[in-house]
A and B are shown apart, each in its own frame.
Chain A
Amino acid sequence: MEKMPAAKKQKILMGRVVASLFFEPSTRTRLSFEAAIQNLGGRVIGFSDSSTTSAKKGETLSDSIRMVSRYADIIVMRHPLEGSARMAAEISQKPIINGGDGANQHPTQTLLDLYTIKKKFGKIDGLSIGMLGDLKYGRTVHSLAYALAKFEGVKLYLIAPEQLKMPKEIIEDVKKNLKIEETSNLEKFLPKMDVLYATRIQKERFPDSMEYEKVKNVYILKEEILKITKKNFQIMHPLPRVNEISDGLDKTSAALYFEQAANGIPVREALLSMLIGKKKKVEM
């Protein structure tokens, strides 16, 4: 997709309408989808905030989907309730892309994460990947762990404060296919990692603000870490970051997070092209 000439891309969704239904605001995901749609020559209809739509007037989600699926070719949706996209897919005649359903899934983020790793390393099999920060509530790391379990020989280092450890059920589900090490000591495993996926630790997750103060600075990544990491070590982050990654790292070769965010566009373009059925095989 990234290598395809713009003029050729423009024909993929020409004359097509893609509905972008954001029942909950998410500027980043929405803009990335809408840019992808426009790059492919499609037209976008929809809304970015449900307070301006009939959903506010009490229309059910199923009615909204029934209606929109009559005049759009593909529906991209983000909704605060978990399972909403799956329900929509059962009702809709047209393909649904889940742009995030509450705390449940955000599959296009996971696809772009995988694509970013693959593009950088040429493979995903056999890599050592660390996950850092809020592994308890962080939806992106949960989905990524499940996705990595589909590959061969991936080693996963889970680094989190006691209160924010990866849920046991998830570890149970993926441990057959991943080698997992859990620790609260980042430095110990840093030299072994190819990728470190950092996440934001949110203050609201701590019932006791003292607990938050204790952990908030423990997991800040600074330039010094590069002294002990592998040569081709990479840092990823779903963004926005607060202070998990110091600015000093931005210009180093380890900063993969901006490229990761940019990869959201070709990945979403590929997905849209695949769903419109114009190409049999989609290359990103």
Chain B
Amino acid sequence: MKKEIKVTPIKNGTVIDHLPAGTALRVLSFLKLKNNPITIAMNVGSKKQGKKDIIFIEDKFLGDKEFAKIALIGKGATMNIIKNHEVKSKGIIEIQDYAEAIIKCINPNCITNAEKMKTKFIIKDRPLKATCYYCQKTMDEREIVESIK
């Protein structure tokens, strides 16, 4: 039996695994990390997905808002919390049906782009779509990915 190698180059932190290939940099762009050491593996062979991206972030434990953002890009990605080189918990990132303050509305005439207020979107999956609760504009997957704050 072939044993899968568990790569944990970090001591404490988060591993985001099974991201769709090519999405790691976009995910990093909205995680707003400060000086945390980061390792990225892109286009890694995966039995499940063909190819995938992985992100290792040292000394960082992500919150619900960050999970929600990652879910919009990489549904089915997994989140591993590492403590002392050991996987402490592991979970699949699921798409929520409601997104608050994580996407910007692409409609330039939307009230959310004029006032200081939280955006709200109703999310539908397969295909991924987000409808603005205020202006009712519906965004497709590409538009959503570009609009994550």
Do the beta carbons of B111 and A61 come within 8 Å of each other? yes
**Minimum C-beta distance from B142 to chain A (A):** 16
Asked if B138 contacts A102 (CB within 8 A), the reply is no
Count A/B pairs, Cβ under 8 Å.
Answer: 50
In the bound complex, what is the Cα–Cα distance between A83 and B109 (angstroms)? 9
* Inter-subunit contact B115/A82 (CB<8 Å): no
Q: Contact check, B138 vs A83: say whether CB atoms are below 8 A apart.
A: no
* A50 to B112 Cα, complex, angstroms: 19
Asked if residues A83 and B110 are in contact (CB atoms below 8 Å), the reply is yes
Q: How far is the CB of A97 from chain B (nearest CB, A)?
A: 17
Interchain CA distance A30-B114 in the complex, whole Å: 24
- Cα-based distance from A61 to B134 in the complex (angstroms): 14
Known contacts A82-B137, A86-B134, A87-B117; is A103 also within 8 Å of B111 by CB? no
Whole-angstrom distance from the CB of A103 to the nearest CB of chain B? 7
CA distance A61 to B115 in the complex (A): 7
A83-B116 contact, Cβ under 8 Å, with A102-B135, A104-B135, A104-B136: no
Q: Which of B110, B136, B137 contacts A81 (CB 8 A)?
A: B110
A84 and B116 in contact, given A102-B135, A169-B138 (Cβ under 8 angstroms): no
Contact residues on B (Cβ < 8 Å of other chain), bracket: 10 to 19
Contact A61 B114 (CB under 8 A): yes
- B134 → A minimal CB distance (Å): 3
From A60, A83, A102, name the one whose CB has the most chain B CB atoms within 10 angstroms: A83
In the assembled complex, how far is the CB of residue B90 from the closest CB belonging to chain A, in whole angstroms?
Answer: 38
Q: Does B36 contact A (CB under 8 A)?
A: no
Q: How far is the CB of B118 from chain A (nearest CB, A)?
A: 10
Pick the most buried of A60, A82, A86: most chain B CB atoms within 10 A of its CB: A82
Beyond A61-B111, A101-B111, A169-B138: 16 further Cβ-contacts under 8 Å? A60-B115, A62-B117, A80-B109, A81-B109, A81-B111, A81-B135, A82-B110, A82-B134, A82-B136, A83-B132, A83-B133, A86-B111, A86-B134, A87-B111, A104-B135, A105-B136
Q: Which residues of B contact A (CB under 8 A)?
A: 107, 109-112, 114-117, 132-138
